[in-house]
Structure 1
Amino acid sequence: MQSIEFLNYPVGDQLSDAQWGFRVDGKDLRVYAADATRDLWRQERENAGLAEEEDFLLNQHGGLTLSEVGDPARHFLGDPAPEFVDPSTGAVPLLGCSCGIWGCWPLLATINTTPDTVTWSCFRQPFRKEWGELAMGPHVFARSAYEAALAEPIRLASDPLQSPHPRPRTKRLRQK
């Protein structure tokens, strides 16, 4: 079984709302996403004549805001509000776009639960269907530990991936 930490931290400099983040086995989920998409982005960026940047990879996703998620127990146990369900796969967003609009660039996953486990699998980027299932996961958690972590998220003063002096974010390639 893997370990999970649920995080809540401010959206940029905004203190009015916070967002959800995750650490799986001590590693931010956005790092897993960066690793899984590095070669895919490299191909697209080389074709467009752009250099790959690590900041671009790490900042392609942001968290879902607390106000968006509504009921986190339902959402993160695989039963989100209908507007969050991908009708073709049943997947739900774990991360949104770093621009603040979750649906702009979400990281979707299938969440399956049993009485003993919660599994995140079949990670996808819906705007890059040609990428298929991303090479990350499945992540399997003991359900009791998962629910305990979800009930008591770790509250952080800032985004755990941002340096004290963040650089401007790079624009992503949306169109092909």
Structure 2
Amino acid sequence: MRKAHKRITDFALILDLLNRCPVGRLGTVGRDGWPNVKPLNFVWHEGRIYFHCALEGEKLDDIRHDDRACFEVDLPIAYVKGGPDNPCRAEYLYRSVILRGRAQLVEAEREKALALDCLMRKYQPEGGYGSYAPEKLAITGVVRLEVEEIVGKEELGKGELRERALAALAAGTPLPVVLE
């Protein structure tokens, strides 16, 4: 990372982002050599990213071609307005995480069920979703990203802006907020 002062070094902040962000973006390399990015629901569990998908399609075609993958999540915290005298002041304050690793389709029924249960707990924490019948597991794709590298980055502004952004995060204010 070029600007070391923007690196998130507290792993608890990285875990918070992975658990809090509802959408991540999977980056793969297609057979044609072009990168592909797909937004998707995901869950972080025991050092891995899991997501579900169809058993056929572009994501799996790419993973079967080249299992190297990148995954990104970000949390917009605040938008800082530019003004008539300084439009360049406009900026987003954020935290983000980029992971790199190897992706593969999960074959074991037990791991598939675990991953789907983790996904449901994340997106439907109140429960009520039942169990997974073997015939449903058989037609559901689950991909595991074995994480090899994690880098967190943040831009929280300076001085008063930083204090206001951190206060919004601590207060649980709906994000992003607008700062002037």
Q: What is the TM-score with the length of structure 1 in the denominator?
A: 0.26
Larger Rg: 2
